[in-house]
Amino acid sequence: MDDAIIVGETVYTRIEAGEDPFEASWRGTTELGGVVTFGILTTCVAFTPMLGLSGVSGKIWPNIPWVVIPTLLGSLVLTKLVFPAHLATMKKLDRNAKRGPITRGQHWFGDRLEDFVKRVYQPSLYRILRWRYVTITLFLAALLLTGALVGMGFIKSQFMPEVEGDVLSAKLEMAQGVPFAQTQEAIKKLENAAREMNQIYREKVGHDVVKHILA
């Protein structure tokens, strides 16, 4: 999870700077404790409204927060307790130790990534923070432009679009008090229509497209 990555990076940076692993684990975890906790809780709150949906959406979307929220809370416990205990046993990387080909490849990639961070990412982040008001203005302008393009129809969007599927369903509603035999007759008409459709498509594609009929 993101919280474990943030804490792990902080502890790793402290250990590489020469700090004792136990001390680095303790300081890195406590330093970001509040930020990580509120980040997780904010995400949980964002998913909570899905639990109150009704109708068709209420049968689908509530499953997501029932999985996401416990997972996030579990990751918070791991980040606060289990992960720091593992990081406390971490040793500083020995650059002069003998390495195999796989280890050399890992360290080469890691060194290139750190070099990119120091040469490109950090200077760019510094400039963005220095010119933060310009950055915020450009972001808001891009956001407004995107909203305008969507609103004017240049960018097409549709919420819950209908997509092709392999199951066809029909809903039959009869008036209250209709005899059962009449309902059965209406159901037979639907079944016959499905068989006729299957016959039409069989002549076109050479095989049955209707595999089962359940009424």
Predicted local confidence at residue 105, as pLDDT: 86
Q: Is 207 contained in some domain? A: yes
User: Which of 43, 15, 37 is closest to 81 using CA atoms?
Assistant: 37
pLDDT the model gives residue 72: 92
Query: What pLDDT, on the 0 to 100 scale, is given for residue 14?
Result: 86
Question: What is the number of structural domains in the chain?
Answer: 2
CATH assignment at residue 48: 1.20.1640.10
pTM of the model: 0.54
Long-range pairs of 212-215 with CB within 8 A, sequence gap ≥ 24: 215/187, 215/190, 215/191
The pLDDT of residue 64 is 92
Residue at a domain's end among 63, 92, 121: 92
75-134 residue pLDDT tens: 888 888 888 888 888 776 666 667 778 878 888 898 899 899 999 999 999 999 999 999
Q: Residue 202 sits in which domain range?
A: 164-215
Residue 134 lies in a domain: no
End-to-end alpha carbon distance in the chain: 46
Q: pLDDT tens digit string along 170-180?
A: 888 888 888 88
Residue 156 lies in a domain: no
92, 115, 143 — which closes off a domain?
Answer: 92
Mean of all residue pLDDT scores within the chain:
86
